[in-house]
A and B are shown apart, each in its own frame.
Chain A
Amino acid sequence: MRPPEREYESNPTSPRIHPQARSPSLSPSPKANGHVANGHGSPMNGSSKHSKSPVPRVELPGATIYDDSYIDREEYIRLVIQSLRDIGYIESAATLEAESGYVMETSRVAEFRRCILEGTWSEAESALEHLGVSENDGLWEAKCHISQQKYLECLESGRTSMALHVLRNELAPLHTDPELLHPLSSLVMCTDAADLRQKAGWDGAHGSSRRRLLVNLQSYIPSSLMIPPRRFVTLLDQARLQQISQCIYHNAPITPQHFSLYADHTCDTDLFPRVTTTILQVHTDEVWSLEWSHSGKFLASASKDKSVIVWSVGPNSNPEISLYLHLQDHQFPVGCLAWSLDDTILLSSCEQLIKMWNTESGALIRTIEAHTEPVSALAWVPDGSGFISASQDRKINLWGSDGKQRDSWGITATRIIDLAVTPDFTRLVAIGESARDPILSTPRSDAAAASATARNGNNNTAPNGSRTPEYLMIVYDLTTKQPELSVSLGGQLTSVKISSDSQYALVNHAPDEVHLWDLFTGRLARKYTGQRQGRHIIRSCFGGVDGNFVVSGSEDGKVYVWHRDRGILLDVLAGHGLGSVNSVAWNPRNTQMFASCSDDCTIRLWEPSAGGTDGDSASRLAHRTADDRSHEGELNGKGKGKGRESWVEDISASRIL
């Protein structure tokens, strides 16, 4: 059926050099290339080089690629030809043009493309008009783009008088607003070509600027005439994004391994972290807080037992977990933790004190006593130059990485419970209780009148006569320190985290909700429900590829996992003992691992089940099994650094969907 192809190599000395040379030299428009108008042996059949042995045109009925398909055959084939050319299969593209009778683009489009890329500007302008771009289609604007490129190139090559000529005779008449022309004309003052490129934000005639110009001009030319670049791949990318949006457990990096064109993408749920692979059992009291180092190699845990433990977690291929540091110099339970950006300093808070620890030696660098009530939040600023502390004493302080105070926000409106800084360094989100502290109930023996007044006069009055505290989320502008948004919410707020793109704040809200606030619009974007929280500090976090998931602790002792954008509850993970799961933390470098901590004194690491199809995880299972056996005796003894469950049978990971 297929004609012999080798014969076309009529010019073996330059087989693949001039892709455009394969375009037909004469053709009115692609539509005219339809098989009716296009007889055999006409110049439309691709390159004239094929004329020696023309590829037979295949005549097909209908206009779509399948009888029951809506996809237009000509459009489809032209995209295929474009992709073939992009890849470098020049001969195949020419053959396909010949066989189908469709060309990727007409010779006029090819000519226009050549003019832009070669910088023959006056020819480019007339080519543009020949393409049928009229004043209505923005010919004027398109010419403006061309003249601007011409002007910049003249300046770049030192032809200043030519540049000024272009400015006066081409750009000035096109720009009705002189204000728009000014930035361009001021470029004449640039000292040299490098200065020009920098000031104009333009990468020069030999950079990508001509190709960019072509992309800009493309919008003025009908896409049926000049196909947008990489059109086929663009469509395939759209299909990929659509498939990801349908994949609720999506946690895979974008690699050819995870995205095949042969099958729709869907993530294997076995590759989702939902089973306990490790239980860390050294703390002797409730574990309240967890933070991963930025490297993902260390996990810090803070406990009511007045200590912090830094756990060392081996690389994915060798997941050995060990107690690395036990920081015990705390007089009271430890509430929060924060790793410096380079992971060399760990901060811990203990009542009103902040402690700075050297994470290599475990030495206490400094104890900071600046707050008068418990420190409730610690957050390094995104440039690593220091950190922010907040407290129940309503103060927010800024510290240098040396532990010296840089700034103070004074007394704010709230007894702060948590705060977070957006990674783009623009906002600070604080949550807390309004400073209007509650008044305790009036004794019944008191005059009934006083009690009645209190009840009627205050909407915040609870039935027992005490004022209900007001809970606030306040978004501050970091540069001005002024609140840009303050929202009063009905229940206690216990945790705030910011998404990596700085757009969302994740806030735990009693009773039983986690809220997603859009900081760009100042609106509540989504609520996640299912977890239990009433009186205690329960924390949540984002995690996984692109922060696709939300995880939260819960007072029912389970871990809750939702799909961030769709709000679907994916997993309710059981395993921890009595009491609350107080906090969760997703490993920033391993999208398939997160940790949870509980009143049961333990920390659990959650990972994919060993039965996953991933070869790496299978080898890990083997490794861990061997490891467990060799340590079996020690595991049963008290005081051992870690305990590992036989995670296959014991774990009850109840799936909701």
Chain B
Amino acid sequence: MGMSYRRYLAGARVYGCLSCRTHLTTIHSMISRAFNGQHGRAYLFEDVVNVIEGEPNDRQMTTGNHTVRDIYCCKCKTILGWKYEKAYEQSQKYKEGKYILERNLLVDVQ
């Protein structure tokens, strides 16, 4: 893989990892607040940085079957949410390639 530094973001509101404050995404990238995760409320984002993606697996969600990957903070390795790889329901296709972050694992940084 090789060595790289974490990315830093700017904007009105930058969300970071609660445990290590690594920058993850910004409010500009938010698509929806109307999601639920394992720890309560979760947000859907267009783009997220500084995360490692886990292996793909199929999960039955309230909105149907999806192939997802867990995403980990690249510094502290906390599981922060997941990335939608594939949505099987036509109506859920818009989520493909997008990220879910659990609100309770985020902190405002900057």
Contact = CB atoms under 8 A, between A and B. Distances in A.
Contact of A440 (B1, B3, B32, B47): B47
A445 B31 contact: yes
B10 interface: yes
Interface string A279-290: 000000010110
A168 interface: no
Contact of B46 (A288, A335, A443): A443
A537 B1 contact: no
A437 interface: yes
B92 interface: no
A569 B32 CA distance: 52
Contacts of B2: 286, 288, 535-538, 555, 579-580, 582, 599
Contact of A436 (B10, B45, B46): B10
Interface in A315-374: 332-333, 335, 351, 373-374
Residue from A351, A437, A538, A555 whose CB has the most chain B CB atoms within 10 Å:
A437
Interface string A432-474: 0100111111111100000000000000000000100000000
Interface in A255-302: 286, 288-289
B5 A376 contact: yes
Contacts of B28: 439-443
A397 to B, nearest CB: 18
A309 B11 CA distance: 41
Nearest to A536: B2
A451 to B, nearest CB: 10
Contacts of A289: 3
B9 interface: yes
A289 B11 CA distance: 33
Interface string B4-37: 1111111100000000000001101111100000
B49 interface: yes
A304 interface: yes
A304 B29 CA distance: 31
Contact of B7 (A304, A438, A442): A438
Given A536-B3, A537-B5, A580-B2, A443 B10 contact: no
B49 A392 contact: no
B3 A537 contact: yes
Nearest to A466: B47
Q: Is the interface of B mostly helix, strand, loop or mixed?
A: loop
Contacts of A436: 10
A494 to B, nearest CB: 9
Contacts of B47: 440-441, 466
Given A440-B26, A443-B29, A286 B7 contact: no
Interface residues of A, number: 35
Interface bin, chain B: 20 to 34
A392 B8 contact: yes
A289 B30 CA distance: 37
Contacts of B3: 286, 288-289, 304, 333, 335, 536-537, 582
Nearest to A432: B5
A139 B98 CA distance: 86
Interface in A577-593: 579-580, 582
A443 B9 contact: no
A417 interface: yes
A415 interface: yes
The 7 closest A-B pairs by CB, nearest first: A536-B2, A437-B10, A580-B2, A440-B29, A537-B3, A443-B46, A288-B3
Given A438-B7, A438-B10, A538-B2, 12 more contacts: A286-B2, A304-B3, A332-B75, A392-B6, A392-B8, A415-B8, A439-B9, A440-B49, A536-B3, A537-B3, A579-B1, A582-B3
21 contacts: A335-B3, A373-B8, A374-B6, A376-B5, A392-B6, A436-B10, A437-B8, A440-B26, A440-B46, A440-B49, A441-B46, A443-B46, A444-B46, A536-B2, A536-B3, A537-B2, A537-B4, A538-B2, A555-B2, A582-B3, A599-B1
